[in-house]
Amino acid sequence: MTNELQYKDCIEACHEAADASNICYVSSLKEYDIAMLRDCIVLTRECAEICSFTADAMSRMSPFASDICSICVQICEACAKECEKHAHQHCKDCAEACRRCAEICSNMCCVA
């Protein structure tokens, strides 16, 4: 049976990706050409929400944690791919955090 200690790395990665996504979201809204960042803005919101929800689900030992984690991986990968298109530091930081979260959570999805 999976316990919270087994989820620890994934929970931490989700929190880091949620924070980076929130920072990227707010920072993107302050950029000069936000039209160029439209997809980034949308995906960072989605990513922040799913990462927070995934961490919460794992913390409460949800029986659906593995399924939720799998969706988190998909959204983190999409967010990272979009953020990598942009030169802004907040986008680079977000992409890095999302890639890390996707990698750690993809391993968790298989064992949860």
pLDDT tens, per residue, the chain with 112 residues = 455 666 889 999 999 999 999 999 999 989 888 888 999 999 999 999 999 999 999 999 899 999 999 999 999 999 999 999 999 999 999 999 999 999 999 887 654 4
In this structure, are residues 31 and 75 in contact, taking their beta carbons and an 8 Å threshold? no
Nearest residue to 6 via CA among 48, 69, 50: 69
Q: Could you tell me the domains of the chain?
A: 4-111 (1.20.1270.360)
The CA distances from residue 5 to 44, 66, 67, 99, in Å, are 27, 15, 18, 22
Q: Which of 80, 76, 86, 24 is nearest to 47 (CA)?
A: 76
Give the pLDDT confidence score for residue 36 in this predicted structure: 87
pLDDT of residue 34: 83
User: Are 24 and 44 spatial neighbours (Cβ–Cβ below 8 Å)?
Assistant: yes
Compute the distance between CA of residue 97 and CA of residue 63 in angstroms, rounded to an integer.
26
